[in-house]
A and B are shown apart, each in its own frame.
With several copies, the nearest count.
Chain A
């Protein structure tokens, strides 16, 4: 199976983009080996929140990832540090990657989509 990498850069909260990017990843999982990488402001999507009144409940959205057998969920360690994201706050099991390792993920992919 070809490898698709999804780079997630949009912050959690204001727009429907986080949800629409997740939809794209789920669609990808049927045809490809998919990896999700959260970086920049995108790491804020990984922080669990108790209030999801306006946008769709993200706890549920992220749970779907494992239902679709998407296990390669990564985040940029530098971006997580910048945004004070702590391990115990994570909404889903995700592994931290160095910027270099992220670069390697990009190189090894068949295609990369940015959100």
Chain B
């Protein structure tokens, strides 16, 4: 499993082609503005960092997306074979 981290808005689409089945996507920082775009990326586990959502006053709408604490982020990174930061 590869963990794909995004921290910028507007770049999810550019890098979706590198996603594989069973990979995980995590949106942090300003990438959380794109949380609605995760809906269609069913190939991967999809996460959004809770604290960064809260800092921006956002709430998740989709049931398919999970909120992640920083503690859970660390666990996800430890479980991943590789952690990639896209921007």
Contact = CB atoms under 8 A, between A and B. Distances in A.
Nearest to B50: A51
Contact of B86 (A48, A107, A114): A114
| Size bin of chain B's contact surface | 20 to 34
Interface in B63-87: 81-87
A40 B30 CA distance: 14
Interface residues on A, range: 20 to 34
Given A107-B2, A114-B87, A102 B57 contact: no
Contact of A13 (B17, B30, B82): B30
Interface in A23-82: 39-41, 44, 47-55, 78
A14 B33 contact: no
B20 to A, nearest CB: 6
Contact of B84 (A44, A47, A114): A114
Interface in B32-73: 33, 36, 51-52, 54-58
Nearest to A111: B82
Contact of B54 (A49, A55, A106): A49
Contacts of B55: 12-13, 49, 51-55
Contacts of A99: 17-18
A111 B2 CA distance: 12
Contact of A40 (B7, B11, B51, B56): B11
A78 B16 CA distance: 12
